[in-house]
A and B are shown apart, each in its own frame.
Chain A
């Protein structure tokens, strides 16, 4: 009888021991996961449902976002390194944009972490869209830098050939130069030479869309928000002609192929170096005498901005000096 009572007590104490072990394990597990992500617990006091992590929709969305992310960064690929070296040689400030790109890339990567939730993936999607715009900008700049580099090489070649072949100096009349079309796979055309010395080159071309809200101007990448374009470029001629008044033509082409005109009194047509007629958006007249880099700015309003790629081209005496693009979503 005594043995039976002792066995019952022993059984009960064993059960209590097992039960306390179970409670301790649960407490330890709970404490571990609660302290593992304190920031998240502060933002969202409601515990994360386990089912959401393994939701097949979330996984599918994450996969598609990862694909979009990889595709976006692969578009840039190794071009970034060469862009930095070209830009450095041309003194074009690209570092800030590349840093911005790297920061964004890191943020997206963190957001695509497996533990993250649907809300994080939505944020990741927005960041990927922003990343795509940055990549487009960098690619446009890369094209411009490559084109500028090729153009300068062709100018140097031309000058060397000229010096070798002909030592006789000619009259001081402006000379224009055709630039390499960055989107074309063809070789850059040889410079268009009229007579005399003096080459105009245009570089550091920028085109950005702006929205005006509450009397404040903000840069935008959305077509429906855009009210105007602000563009800028730098022109240089080491040996300027005798005439002070220089004229540059700006051509901004919309995604549908039409040239945006500033106004009927500001826009017109001109003949390109290869004999084609072209509409220009506006003229920029300026005085140039010293042979130093001169930054030119312009504003261009439009009634409607449609999504797509806008192209900005700079012409002087019918020859294209530079080209860049701006994508609006």
Chain B
């Protein structure tokens, strides 16, 4: 009875909301050719990853270039639709399915990406909230509605858990040559997660988690402010937050992880890593990863507080030393960073980043730190690896 009700609900929903959308997409697909995409690599393939996250649905078009054991990926397009699925109401459900199907059909019909090169997942954040509020069936219904909308009843839509998400990100971001000696830490807005492969295989993954993220750190500092909303007051309270409860948790979590002894490299991903990398090394604007030192980030933290105006697009472009770097591109990308992170958010995120880095800055042994800009699509790269392996094994069996 419940199943029949669910089916009829999906059919009703499909007729009412998706048919117009599908017609629109069909027309647009026929009318327009593949949009002009500027590829970075000489030999590469186009893939797409569509992820239903807590905030909304995100699509990334990724160009993947493979050279022996290394896969380099370049984000060609990154678009999202805020649907707020974790509210678990009819309106957000409809918006999520519409966005999910719309982005999938855009990738398939507009960008001409074959369906076996489009990966669709539901993130761990959604799964955690669904378990918390006993709404697991909403995820299943949303996936069924999506399959019906795109007319692919057998389409795979993985619902990944935290450990799997961190593992896939590691596999996708860190090159094979650094896989077993790199600790990957994803600093999100509300929390931090990551881990490493302790046993020289890609199955055993040591997960690392913190309840502190960029936004939660900034919020904790804001809460301590008593009426004085100046930058100096925020800076002072941020110091207290980072030296207090955040510090205790960070020191404990890193000690327990055992990552210090097992890793030569520590790579950071997430929004703050992307923004610091963009602002700290504008000469490497095209690079997906930027190596940094603790001292560089420490100096940058002071610069945010004391000389924030030097972090505008125009000011950063003035300091470029490489004559071959595209200044306009630098200005454009720095402006995006300035839009996403204001001075306080940048201070909070960089402060948290420094706090974690400090745990790896030994007197006798220094780790190499990296800031990863495109961490959000790391999982797509891992799926690409898996898809290629499957293609190869199928070819061999034939």
Contact = CB atoms under 8 A, between A and B. Distances in A.
A267 B283 CA distance: 11
Given A245-B366, A279-B283, A268 B322 contact: no
Interface in B246-286: 281, 283-284
A268 B324 contact: no
Given A277-B319, A278-B321, A268 B281 contact: yes
A277 B283 contact: yes
A277 B321 contact: yes
B125 interface: no
A192 B72 CA distance: 39
A265 to B, nearest CB: 6
A258 B178 CA distance: 26
Interface string A55-82: 0000000000000000000000000000
Which residue, B281, B289, B291, B319, has most C-beta atoms of chain A within 10 A?
Answer: B291
A257 B370 CA distance: 25
B40 to A, nearest CB: 11
A265 B281 contact: no
Interface string A231-245: 000000000000101
Contact of A258 (B42, B319, B322, B364): B322
A26 B288 CA distance: 82
Given A245-B366, A265-B175, A257 B322 contact: yes
Interface string B273-307: 00000000101100111111000000000000000
Contacts of B287: 261, 264, 267
Interface string A244-279: 010000000000111101011111110000001111
A303 interface: yes
B323 A258 contact: yes
Interface in B315-369: 319, 321-324, 364-366
Contacts of B370: 265
Interface residues of A, number: 19
A38 to B, nearest CB: 56
Which residue, B319, B322, B323, B370, has most C-beta atoms of chain A within 10 A?
Answer: B322
Contacts of A263: 70, 175
Contacts of A261: 287
Contact of B324 (A243, A256, A266, A276): A256
A264 B365 CA distance: 23
A207 B319 CA distance: 30
Interface string B91-127: 0000000000000000000000000000000000000
Contacts of A256: 323-324
B42 A303 contact: yes
Contacts of B366: 245
A258 B291 contact: no
Interface residues of B, number: 23
Contacts of A264: 72, 284, 287-290
A258 B364 CA distance: 35
Contacts of A269: 281, 283-284, 290
Contacts of A268: 281, 284, 290-292
B349 to A, nearest CB: 20
Contacts of B322: 257-259, 279
Nearest to A257: B323
A213 to B, nearest CB: 19
Nearest to B370: A265
A257 B325 CA distance: 10
B178 A265 contact: yes
Contacts of A303: 42
Nearest to B182: A265
Interface in A276-298: 276-279
Interface in B30-89: 42, 70, 72
B150 to A, nearest CB: 35
Contacts of A265: 175, 178, 289, 291, 370
Nearest to B324: A258
A278 B321 CA distance: 7
A173 to B, nearest CB: 13
A267 B281 CA distance: 11
A315 to B, nearest CB: 14
Given A265-B178, A268-B281, A269-B283, A257 B324 contact: yes
A75 B328 CA distance: 42
Contacts of B290: 264, 268-269
B323 A279 contact: no
Which residue, A267, A268, A278, has most C-beta atoms of chain B within 10 A?
Answer: A268
Interface of A: 243, 245, 256-259, 261, 263-269, 276-279, 303
10 contacts: A243-B364, A256-B324, A258-B323, A264-B290, A265-B175, A265-B178, A265-B289, A268-B284, A269-B290, A279-B322
6 interchain residue pairs of minimum CB distance: A268-B291, A258-B324, A264-B287, A264-B289, A257-B323, A269-B281
Interface of B: 42, 70, 72, 175, 178, 281, 283-284, 287-292, 319, 321-324, 364-366, 370
Given A256-B324, A268-B292, A279-B283, 18 more contacts: A243-B364, A256-B323, A258-B322, A258-B323, A261-B287, A263-B175, A264-B72, A264-B287, A264-B288, A267-B284, A267-B291, A268-B281, A268-B290, A269-B284, A269-B290, A276-B321, A277-B321, A279-B284
